[in-house]
Structures are given as C-alpha cells and as structure tokens.
A and B are shown apart, each in its own frame.
Chain A
Amino acid sequence: MLKFILKRILIIVPMALLVVTVTWVLIRVAPGNFYSTERNLPPAIEENIKKKYGLDQPWYIQYGTMMGNILRLDFGDSLKYQGQSVNEIIRRHFPYSATLGILAYLLALAVGLFAGIVAALKQNSAFDYGSMAAAMLGLSVPNFVLGPILVLFFSLYLFWLPPARWGGLLHLIMPVVTLAAIYAAYIARLTRAGMLEVMRSDYIRTARAKGLNERTVLLKHGLRGGIVPVVSFTGPALASLLAGTVVVEKVFAIPGLGNIFIQSVLNRDEPLILGIVAFLSILIMVANLAVDISYGFLDPRIRYE
C-alpha cells in the first residue's frame, strides 16, 4: 500500500514534466509568439527584450533552462503582466477559483449524494423520477445559459442577489449553484446507479440477514460499495472544478485562475501558460491519486499490485 502510494507520487513528477514539455512544444509549434500579437516594437527593443527572457538562445538551451527553473518551482516572470512572477499570479488568483470550486464541490456532493441515495431507495417513486429528470436537466443546460438566467431572475427581477463580482456570501450563491449544477446531476445519477446495484448484492443480503438495522446496512455497507463510481468521477471533477471555472468566472466577473489561463493562452504568455499547466496537471494527478487510494478504503476487494 505504502509502496504503491510512493510509486504513484514519484511518477507524478516525470508525468508533470512531460505534460509541460508537450505544452511547450505545442506553444512553440504554433505560428507567432507573444511579440507578434503586440504592437510592432522597434527591432532593437525587441532584441533587448528577447535577450532578457533568453529568447535569443537556441531552442535546446531555452528548453533546458526552462526545465531547470521548473524543477526549482520557479516559473519566471509573466510576459504580459510586467514584473509579476507566475507564482505570484497563481497565488493571487487561485484562491478565488479554489473557493468557488470547493464550495461547488461540497454542494454538488451533498445534493447529488442525497438525491441519488433517496432516489435509489425509493426507486420508481415520484421523488426518483423527479430528481432524475432534474439531474438530466442539470446535464443539459449549459452553465453559460443557467448563470445568466439565474442573474436575470434573482438579480434583475427579484433584486435578491448581487448580479456579479466578488464580495460577501451573497455574491457566492449564484456562481456556486451555476458551477455545481452539472456535477450534482452527474453525482446523483452515478450514486443512484451504484446504490441500486449494490443494494441487490449478496453482501447486503448477508448484512440484513444477520439482523443489522436498515440504517447501518445502508450507511456502513451499502454506501461504501455504491459510492465507488462516484469517487472515480469526483477526483477529476474536483480538479476541473478548481481550475475549470472559466465560464462562471466570466459570467459573474470573478478574477479567478480560469480566465487568467484563457487570457494567457490567447496572449501567448509562455511562462504563465507553462506555470498554470504544470500547476493544474499536478492538481489533476494528485486528485486522481487520492481517488485511487480511497478505492481501497471503500471497497476492501480492491487490492494494489
């Protein structure tokens, strides 16, 4: 077990470096660069800038220095945001995305698990059909449609909630709901399917047969097995929630990392792109690792090689 975890942690580093390399190649292969999108600079100035950022060196030296810096977790300065280091930018903007992401994650988990479990236990009831229809709706309404419609109704029609920007708790409600909707829908569907399958299995019958009360059967035995597909979904989901809140950030004018990333890609801000990609890919891989580890706790039948 410990060996497995250690192996997986060790593999994250080369994988992340590989991801960064592929990204770097992608950026370099694409025609144009940061300077070609700006106003035309006098050649002398451009040369000086290139010298400053080491862009006048041959590509393998640039690649080497970049990799060396990344290994020291120093991503350098952003090209676009003069004088700000990539680490600083990530540190400044990530908390917004993370707050949104974690809150949405918790909301999605709470709503999704509850709806899924109750729907499975009361299969074919009105609640089952209602919640599954709602889940399907959640999967089908794009969040850039859901967000503005919420704004229209709650801010512009009822005047209950502020329409945008970062502020108090009230500001958080609509972005979090918008973000959580699709994940809650997924989790509800997965939970329902998983629970239905597990509640028919032999070990649940055994648990019932030995006289455990329904509550223990459900929470201690049923949930542990039924939740496995949910866990394998929520790992990557957490990562993408922490990072991929672009639409919600745009609709609600929140200065999160997602928008910074899109901007950096559009601006060809190489250090910033590489920094964010490395950060996000490590985040995704750690989330996946956490999922793989938690399998073992949830389902005792799963063994690690």
Chain B
Amino acid sequence: METETTETPENEEGFPFRSPLGFGYLAFVAILALALICVYVSDSWWGTQLLSQTSWIAFLLLAVVSSALAVWYFVRSSKIGGIYAVILIDLIAVVAASYLYDRYYGTNTLDITGFIAFLIFYLITTALAIWYLLTTTSNSLWADAWRRLIRNKLATFGLIVIWLITLMVVIGPSIIFWTTGLTPELMPSDGNLIRSFPPSWTHPMGTDEAGRDILSRVLQGGRISLMVGIISTIVSLIVGVSYGATAGYLGGRIDNVMMRIVDIIYAIPYILIVIVLLSVFGGENTNVLVASVPAIVAALVLFLILFAIYLSLSRLYDGLLRNISLDETLLKIVFIAVAVVFAWQAIEIFLTLNLYMFSATGQWLAGIFSDAVDQGLSQIFLLFFALGLVSWLTMARVVRGQILSLKNEEFVLAARATGVSTPNIIFRHLVPNALGPVIVYATLTVPSVMLTEAFLSFLGLGVQAPYASWGSLAADGIKNIAIFPWQLIFPGVTMALTLFSLNFLGDGLRDALDPQTRKF
C-alpha cells in the first residue's frame, strides 16, 4: 500500500487529485454533489421542497465555478482531469437543465421531456467518463487499480448491473407512473376477488394479492433495500474503523480488552441485539429516545460530512496553489465561498431530510415534541442503525489487523517524532493507508447487510407494512407461493441479481486494490 504522498512541485503532471487522498476526498465531494442532485430530483418530481431556490442558485454558481476549473484542467490535457471535468459537466448539465426547465415553465415537476434530457445527459456523460477512464495513462495506485478492475469482466458486469439497478430504482417508479399511471400503492377498485394476476404487458412482474403492480413495488422496495445496504455499511464503517484502528494502534492491554469485547458481542446472537435495539428505541416506545437517536446520528453524519468537505477543499486548495499560479487571495475567496455553499447545503439537506423522512427528528430539531411519529419510517431508520451496529465487528478486526502491520512502519515513527498527536496519527496516517482492505470489506458488507435486512423482514422484524423492501416483498410472496409464484420470484430474483453483482464487484475490487492476495 502506498504511503501518504504529499504534493511536491516536481509532480510532473501537476494534478492535485492524483494522490490517493486527494482522489478520495474529491470522490466524496462528488458523492455529496450527487446526493444534492438526488434531493433536487426528489424536489422537482415529488414536490418535497427539500431545498430552497436561493440555495439552488448558489449550487449552480458553485457548479459553474468548479466546472470552469475542471475544464481548464481538461484543456491542459490532463486525462484524469478530463474525467473530473466530464463528471462535473454531467452534474451541471443535469441540474441546469432541470432547474432552467422548472424556472421558465413554472413547473415543479419535471415532465417527460426534461426527464429524457436528464437521461441522455446521464448516459452520454457516463459513457464519456468511462472512455476517459479506459484510456487514462496515469500510473497512480488508484488508476492502476481501476485498470485492473475493468479488465476483470465479472467485476465490470457487476458494476454495470449495479449502476443500472440504481438508476432504475431512482427513476423507475416515475417512468411507470408517467407511462401507465401506476404507483406502488395503487390498488384497483373493481370487485374482482382475485387480484393477483400473472405477468402481462401492463404488469411485467404481475400484481400482488391486493392488485398492486409488483414491478413498481420492487423498484420502490429497492430504494429501501439499497439504502439499508449503504447506510448500515456507513455506520459499520464509522464504528468499525475507529474501534479497530484505536485498538490496533494502542495495542497491549487496551487492545486485548477491546478485542475481548468484540469476541463477547460475537458470541451474542446478533438477532437478539437487533431485536433489543428495535424494542428499546422503536415500536410502542415512541418517545424522546426515538426522536433523539436519529438526530444524534444525523448530527454525527453532518459533522463528518462537514469535516470531509473541509478536508477535500483544503486538499484541493493546497494542490491548486502549488500547481497553478492563480492569485492566492482570489483562490481563497473562491474556496471560502465554495465551502460555505457546501456546508450550507449539507446542513439544509440534513435538517429538511430529517423533517421529511424521520418526522420525529425533524420535530425534535425544531424544538417540538409530539407523539405523531411515522412508525414505519422510524422503524426503518432504526433498522439501518441496528444493522450497522451489529456488522461493525468484522470491520474492526480487519482494520485492527491492517493497523498492526502498519504501525511499525517508518512513516508512523516519523510522524511520532515530529510530535503528531495520537488521534492524528491514527486517523490521518494509519487509516488512509489501511483503506484498501477497508473499501473491499465495505463492498462485501453491503450485500451481507442487505441479506440480513431481508432476513429480518422475512421474520417480520424489519420493514413494516406500508413500506416495502425486497426482503419483505419476498416474505409476502412466500405465503402465496403455491398459487401466485411470481409474487416471490420477481423480488427474489431482483435481490439475488443485485447481491450477485455486488459480490462480483467486491471480489474484483479486492483483486484490483490488493494484488498480493488476488486469487490468481
């Protein structure tokens, strides 16, 4: 694993994103930007009003500024810069197109034209980005890993399937609604006793026992299933990495005690922990606890995001300053503006998302206590949290092993000699270097968490009635397997396909990021 590289002026290509850290932080900012777009899409299609208009103009300005920078790099013929340019243009194009459409036509719902424009932009720009990534000549660790990854046909297959499924899950229900008028909740009002019909042209996956379109429900359920996978993995990442890194670095008796604690939690059946967590914080005990737990987590995540924005921007700033001769004051002003906009939007999204999704938290944050909590949603949220809390154990072990082998390296000694504090050594020097296996394991945690969620939903402990996940859809389908097999088969197969692709991707990532342990 490459040690943390600092940018030096002799870095020939002179691109600040080339170091692994710079890349990681930039990716984080890109993800945040994507999240913003998702929020925007949700705003414009479902009229949820998560963001104010002023903040969107600020975002647009930000996008323009950063894309100008990226394009400038592109012009300077840095291929990797081209990728970022393409991604940024992608983002801007989507936002600008939909924003302008809404602004000038006075709509709050993107219609089919805007939607198709979005799709075309999305596809073309992704294709361009892939082309650049395929032809990139950079030799950094991550570029190498990327090349190894796409040479692996199965991993590429997995990547494409996941990309498609994510796209489908995000935009699918809207397409179905526009073309056929079906929603996941729509039940026919005719007097038929049997409402579950086999697959047909109007209902490619058939209908369930209440007559609802299974395709819509599968796509809708996919949102929750994917969200469970991602959010729980993030929770397990945060807990597992901090815990494992601390234990591994401190070593000795502390390490021993911390790892025995992990052993003990391992020996308690995780289902007991999940059930206790769900019954302590959820169900009938809708009280302050329910309201405060998501708020604490949201605050934590918000803090982490702000921290990541700070790191990524300062990183970019350093790189830019060293590599191009822009006026320093100007650059500073631009970056402060960018930082303010990002922070503002992150806070805004979190406040409003809480209001919207976890009404309990929203009310708590607004200083209003109320018993009117959406049981289903707080249950789902708790599920994310509980699953994350039981799946961090292996992550902690993986990280600890990595740290143990890294902590006697010279760069740690150097850091200690120059008086870097222990938390800083752990999180700025050791953790970034242990990132490869962590990423790999995180990719494999996503399918296993999704499987656990499905298992819990199957037992009736997971996602509750008005909401659906692939697990709960499959569990509903099993009841009627003899007569209406399509009710089980389609959700089950969709889920299996997703897990299949995620597993392939995880395998490919392991081979790509850690060539030494690759499976020949």
Q: Interface on A for B, CB 8 Å cutoff?
A: 15-16, 18-19, 22-23, 26-27, 29-32, 123, 136-137, 139-142, 144-145, 148-149, 151-152, 156, 192-193, 196-197, 243-244, 246-247, 250-251, 261-262, 265-266, 273, 277, 280-281, 284-285
Contacts and interface: CB of A to CB of B under 8 A. Distances in A.
B465 interface: no
Contacts of B485: 152
B504 interface: yes
B414 to A, nearest CB: 32
Given A15-B263, A149-B492, A250-B459, A144 B475 contact: yes
Given A30-B276, A156-B482, A265-B272, A145 B492 contact: yes
B253 to A, nearest CB: 16
Contacts of A251: 478
A152 B481 contact: yes
A242 to B, nearest CB: 12
Given A152-B485, A193-B519, A265-B275, A145 B267 contact: no
Contact of B519 (A18, A196, A262): A196
Interface string B248-276: 00000000000000011111110111011
A136 B269 contact: no
Contacts of B492: 141-142, 145, 149
A142 B454 contact: yes
B519 A192 contact: yes
A16 B263 CA distance: 11
Contacts of B519: 192-193, 196
B310 interface: no
Contact of A247 (B280, B458, B493, B503): B458
Q: Can you list the 10 inter-chain pairs with the closest CB atoms, starting with the nearest?
A: A145-B492, A140-B500, A140-B499, A281-B267, A26-B276, A141-B496, A30-B279, A19-B267, A196-B520, A144-B458
Contact of A142 (B269, B474, B481): B474
B496 A148 contact: no
Given A123-B520, A149-B489, A144 B454 contact: yes
Residue of A140, A193, A277 contacting most chain B CB atoms (<10 Å): A140
Given A22-B264, A265-B272, A285-B267, A142 B279 contact: no
Contact of A29 (B280, B478, B496, B520): B280
Given A141-B492, A149-B489, A277-B269, 10 more contacts: A15-B264, A15-B267, A16-B267, A26-B272, A26-B276, A27-B276, A140-B497, A144-B458, A251-B478, A266-B275
Contacts of B271: 246, 261-262, 265
A217 B497 CA distance: 39
Contacts of B285: 31-32
A261 B495 contact: no
Nearest to B485: A152
Nearest to A147: B478
18 contacts: A15-B267, A22-B265, A23-B272, A27-B276, A32-B279, A140-B496, A140-B497, A144-B454, A156-B482, A196-B519, A250-B458, A250-B459, A262-B271, A265-B271, A277-B268, A280-B269, A284-B267, A285-B267
A280 B268 CA distance: 8
B394 to A, nearest CB: 11
Given A152-B481, A196-B519, A262-B459, A18 B264 contact: yes
B447 interface: yes
A192 B263 CA distance: 28
Residue of B451, B471, B489, B497 contacting most chain A CB atoms (<10 Å): B451
Nearest to B498: A140
B159 to A, nearest CB: 15
A138 to B, nearest CB: 10
Contacts of A196: 519-520
B500 to A, nearest CB: 4
A231 to B, nearest CB: 17
A273 B272 CA distance: 9
Contacts of A246: 271, 459
A142 B451 contact: yes
A139 B495 CA distance: 12
A145 B488 contact: yes
A192 B265 CA distance: 31
Contacts of B503: 136, 139-140
A96 to B, nearest CB: 18
A148 B482 CA distance: 9
A140 B279 contact: no
A140 B459 CA distance: 19
B121 interface: no
B504 A31 contact: no
Given A31-B279, A261-B269, A265-B272, A136 B459 contact: no
B467 interface: no
A18 B497 CA distance: 41
B335 interface: no
Nearest to A31: B285
B346 to A, nearest CB: 34
Contacts of A31: 279-280, 285
A139 B503 CA distance: 8
Contacts of B356: none
Residue of A15, A139, A244 contacting most chain B CB atoms (<10 Å): A139
A145 B481 contact: no
Contacts of A18: 264
Contacts of A22: 264-265, 268
Contacts of B265: 22
B455 interface: yes
Contacts of B489: 149
A137 B276 contact: no
Contacts of B276: 26-27, 29-30
A144 to B, nearest CB: 5
Nearest to B499: A140
A256 to B, nearest CB: 14
Nearest to A23: B268
Interface in B261-304: 263-269, 271-273, 275-276, 279-280, 284-285
Interface in B499-517: 499-500, 503-504, 507
A136 B500 contact: yes
A151 B268 contact: no
A196 B511 CA distance: 15
A243 B271 CA distance: 12
Contacts of A243: 269
